[in-house]
């Protein structure tokens, strides 16, 4: 396979969990809520996937990942919607809690110094021959990538063309007016947060079941925070968000390209790239695109 092809394939593969998490966060932010605990949702999903897969194959892994992700999201909803706490502080604390809990539980479930845990990964599908250049690279992916391909246009249609999607818009722009128009504001908010939990959990599952094949403490490595940046970059539009996430996969996959080209770049500097790219992209976009008017404001 050519270097370009394997680069595109790696870019899409690493971009997939980012895209899943960012698409979920798009829904949450449309409702005017910023969920920093997305990072915690992803690590919870990754841990759930590892536990579920060691008990009941990959299907069990994906299922338990969704449960774990929704659990974190439900806590976030309970605090920010029911108790109306500050979203940033709540999200930061929940991320700390999820990182600590999964770290501690991983030691007691999988053993502290035991053998490295190996989990059977879901392999890529291969609907077209490898030789089909870009299309081959785009389609030679595990099924969560296909979920991204399907969800991005579906969510776009839902957000911009359905009554419920526009109601979510209205809540993010002006909750009082939405309330007056007869929209069940808090029910939509909680629904969006829980949907974000499903997607964040799936993102964590993808890390474990389609990529790493193991669980490592802190393996989410800031992807939740990157996903929040990606939502801004994609201008809160599911199609833009999915595109931006795949672009970010590219920034991470650059290391494979460097290796292939025989460039001697220090790996710490390469690992910095996705974070720097997020910052640079945010600087280019943030001021020029307007997010939901009440984003992040305490409810």
Partner 1 sequence: MSGARHVWLPTALALCLAGTIAAVLSSGNASPGFALAALARGAAGSWHAFTSGTLVRATPLLFTGLGVAVAFRAGVFNIGAEGQFLTGAAAAAAASAALSSHAGALTPWLAIVAGALAGAAWASVADALRRRFEVPEVISTILLNFVAIYLVGYLVRGPLQEPTHIYPQTRTLELLARLPRMSSGTRLHWGFPLGVAIAIALAFWLSRTASGFRLRLVGANPHAARVTGRVNVGRVTTLAFLASGALAGAGGAVEVNGVTFALYENISPGYGYTAIAVALLAGLDPRWVIATAVGFGALEAGASAMQRDAGVPSVIAGIVEASIILIAIAWSARSRGDASLERGT
Interacting residues toward partner 1 by CB under 8 A: 34, 36, 78-79, 82-86, 88-90, 92-94, 96-97, 99-101, 103-105, 107-108, 112, 217, 221-222, 225-226, 228-229, 232, 266, 268-269, 271-272, 275-276, 278-279, 282-284, 286-287, 296-299
Q: CB of 68: closest distance to partner 1 in angstroms?
A: 14
Which of 127, 181, 144, 161 has its CA nearest to residue 238? 161
Q: Which is nearer to partner 1, 115 or 283 (CB)?
A: 283
Q: CB of 238: closest distance to partner 1 in angstroms?
A: 19
d(CA 209, CA 119): 7
d(CA 175, CA 3): 50
d(CA 175, CA 260): 52
Cβ-count burial 142-177 (b if 16+ within 10 Å, e if not): bbbbebbbebbeebbebbeeeeebbbbbbbbebbee
Q: Which is nearer to partner 1, 6 or 186 (CB)?
A: 186
Q: CB of 175: closest distance to partner 1 in angstroms?
A: 10
In the chain, alpha helices (H): 3-30, 38-77, 87-110, 133-139, 143-161, 163-173, 175-180, 185-206, 223-233, 238-261, 267-285
Q: Which is nearer to partner 1, 112 or 261 (CB)?
A: 112
27 within 8 A of 232, measured Cβ to Cβ: no
Q: Which is nearer to partner 1, 68 or 139 (CB)?
A: 68
Q: CB of 276: closest distance to partner 1 in angstroms?
A: 6
Q: CB of 96: closest distance to partner 1 in angstroms?
A: 4
Q: Which is nearer to partner 1, 55 or 276 (CB)?
A: 276
Q: CB of 266: closest distance to partner 1 in angstroms?
A: 6
Q: Which is nearer to partner 1, 110 or 158 (CB)?
A: 110
């Amino acid at each position: 396979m050519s270097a370009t092809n394997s680069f595109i394939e790696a870019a899409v593969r690493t971009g997939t969990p980012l895209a899943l998490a960012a698409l979920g966060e798009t829904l949450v932010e449309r409702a005017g809520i910023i969920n920093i605990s997305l990072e915690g949702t992803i690590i919870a999903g990754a841990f759930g996937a590892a536990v579920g897969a060691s008990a009941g194959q990959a299907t069990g892994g994906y299922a338990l990942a969704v449960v774990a992700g929704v659990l974190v999201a439900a806590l976030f909803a309970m605090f920010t919607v029911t108790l109306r706490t500050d979203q940033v502080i709540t999200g930061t604390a929940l991320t700390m809690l999820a990182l600590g809990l999964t770290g501690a539980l991983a030691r007691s479930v999988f053993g502290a110094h035991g053998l490295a845990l190996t989990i059977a990964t879901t392999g890529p599908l291969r609907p077209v021959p490898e030789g089909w250049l870009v299309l081959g690279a785009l389609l030679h992916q595990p099924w969560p990538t296909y979920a991204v391909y399907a969800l991005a246009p579906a969510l776009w249609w839902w957000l911009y063309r359905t009554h419920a999607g526009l109601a979510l818009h209205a809540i993010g722009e002006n909750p009082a007016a939405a309330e007056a128009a007869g929209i069940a504001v808090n029910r939509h908010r909680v629904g969006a947060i829980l949907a974000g939990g499903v997607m964040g959990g799936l993102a964590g599952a993808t890390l474990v079941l389609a990529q790493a094949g193991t669980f490592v403490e802190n393996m989410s490595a800031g992807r939740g925070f990157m996903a929040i940046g990606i939502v801004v970059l994609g201008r809160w539009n599911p199609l833009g968000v999915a595109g931006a996430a795949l672009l970010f996969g590219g920034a991470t996959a650059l290391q494979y390209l460097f290796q292939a080209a025989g460039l001697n770049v220090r790996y710490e500097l390469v690992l910095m790239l996705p974070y720097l790219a997020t910052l640079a992209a945010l600087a280019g976009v943030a001021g020029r695109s307007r997010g939901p008017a009440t984003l992040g404001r305490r409810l």
